[in-house]
Amino acid sequence: MTTATPQQPPVSQLPALISGSITNLTGNRLTINDRALDISGASIQYGDTAVASSALTQGMKVVVSTDGVKVTQVDLNPDISGRISAIAGTQLQINTLSVDASALTSLPQVGDYVAISTEVGSSSQLSAAAVMVLQGAEIPATIELEGLVQQLEPGQQLFVVNGLQVDYALAKRVPADLANGSWVEVYGSLSGQRLIALDIETERYADAAEAEITGTITWVDSQQQRFELNQNLSFSVLSSTRFEDGRQQDLALGRVVEVTSRMVNNKSELVEVDFQSKPADPAVVSKLDPRFAVSGQMRSEGKTLLFNGFVFHLINSTKFDDGLTLSGLESVVLELEGVQRNGQLQILEIERADNEPRIELKGLVTQGAIWGYQAADQSLTPFEGKWVELECNLLATRVSACRLDD
């Protein structure tokens, strides 16, 4: 009697989720993160709306779902969507916001419903990397705006994203941990100069068993132990993290990398960093939000730290090192690192300051001072009006012998 050999399950070859921009599109083959994927049989979606594969365009941000062997779904992941209300030169007016479209080879028309993927750059200026025109049944009932939450007023159920005020009183879903600095996708409708939110989501691949994400490094700490991707995803380097086509020391602003993360014990761990570009383009780096670093003993007030007249904001992704907790920040001298976005100083990392006579400061020099530290000599004079990274002597509330930190 012949015994049938059990059929083995297919070997997993693809991550559960792949996030990035389309770099090539030919028929039913889509290239993302250097992977040529067959999307025949996969559903193409924008939210709950089905979209024809022919509407996909190069440069568009997408999230690809797989079963480990084949692609099951492709979700559009634009930063902003809605109808074009006006065009002035290469400036598109959409959802009351202005988007620079000078990088595009052709422009949409007034009245078109578009999904726009923006370039990584300054939070104060939206620049289109790709525009996809949706038609007929592809057009959803809502518009979308994606970005960082600022000026949150829980009592009034208001916040601001990319300069547009959002009213979420009618939203059917609101993230439980909504806070200043949260990265959200808001779906709703315009009412005058306000977006009435009907649904608010956070990143959809946060709990994926394995995710592969390509993006631009928009912040990295001074030890190159922690970095931020695309202004909204934070990763910590582990002893087990592998590096391809580069080293940990190559983590730098503006570098394009492909990261692989995996859920281990319900916690996302950084498995691999694959460098996808040559050294960062200075033109790209110059557009990124400025980084800051400051040390001192600060006053804690809710989710903010006050120091020499400056307000620093703790956000959901703020990492507390050296055993620090929110309740114990006033009793120690702190060192903060973060970014300034739309005028708001957002803390990405906080630790105990070293007891050293020289400190590192990154920020704007104005009226002979940096972060309220007045110069005891003329060493800040050459940097007046500039955002710089300095190393200075510190004595009480005054600095001296400041020089550029190499």
- pLDDT tens track for 9-38: 444 589 999 999 999 999 899 999 999 999
pLDDT for 6: 47
Fold match between domain 80-138 and domain 143-201: yes
- Say how far apart CA 374 and CA 286 lie, in whole Å: 27
CATH 3.30.565.10 assigned to 291-404:
no
Residues 94 and 132: beta-carbon distance below 8 Å:
no
pTM summary value: 0.85
Residue 276: pLDDT band by 50, 70, 90 thresholds? confident
pLDDT at res. 354: 87
On whether the CB atoms of residues 64 and 18 are closer than 8 A, the answer is yes
**By C-alpha distance, which of 303, 291, 369, 305 is closest to 333?**
305
70 closest CA partner among 40, 115, 46: 40
Q: Specify whether domain 210-287 bears CATH 2.40.50.320.
A: yes
pLDDT (0 to 100) of residue 120? 82
Residue pLDDT, tens place only, 38-52:
999 999 999 889 999
Residue 91 confidence (pLDDT) above 80: yes
**Comparing 287 with 392, which gets the higher pLDDT?**
392
pLDDT exceeding 70 applies to what percent of the chain? 95
d(CA 318, CA 178): 14
Lowest mean pLDDT among 92-106, 122-136, 175-189, 369-383: 122-136
| Average pLDDT along the chain | 91
**Is residue 214 scored above 60 in pLDDT?**
yes
Q: Give the pLDDT of residue 25.
A: 92
Spatial separation of the C-alpha atoms in residues 142 and 120, rounded to whole Å: 24
Q: Which CATH superfamily is domain 143-201 in?
A: Copper binding periplasmic protein CusF (2.40.50.320)
Residue with structure tokens 């993290």? 241
Q: Could you tell me what percentage of the chain is helix, strand and coil, using 3-state DSSP and rounding each to the nearest 5? A: 5, 55, 40
- Average the pLDDT over 74-89 and give the result: 95
What pLDDT, in 10s, does the model give residues 173-190? Answer: 999 989 888 889 999 999
**pLDDT of 86 higher than 60:** yes
Question: Which of 186, 128, 122 lies closest to 157, judged by CA?
Answer: 186
Helices (H) and strands (E) in the chain, counts: 1, 35
The tokens for 344 are 């708001």
242-250 average pLDDT score: 95
**CB-based contacts of 144: which residues, under 8 Å, 6+ apart?**
47, 78, 80, 81, 82, 115, 185, 186, 187
CB 94 within 8 Å of CB 116: yes
Domain 80-138 has CATH 2.40.50: yes
177: helix, strand or coil: coil
Domain boundaries, the chain: 17-76, 80-138, 143-201, 210-287, 291-404
Contacts of 170 (CB under 8 A, 6+ apart): 196, 197, 198
pLDDT score of 238 more than 70:
yes
Residue 9 has what pLDDT? 44
Q: What is the mean pLDDT of residues 128-142?
A: 93
Tens of pLDDT along 285-332?
888 889 999 999 999 998 899 999 999 999 888 999 999 998 889 889
Rounded to whole angstroms, the Cα distance separating 406 from 392 reads: 13
Q: Is 378 helix (H, G, I), strand (E, B) or coil?
A: coil
Place of tokens 């380097």: 237
CA 55/CA 131 separation, integer angstroms: 10
User: Per DSSP, what are the bridge partners of residue 397?
Assistant: none
Could you tell me the pLDDT band of residue 279, with boundaries at 50, 70 and 90? confident
**Structure tokens given for 34:** 């250097």
Of 113, 85, 106, the residue nearest 97 (C-alpha)? 85
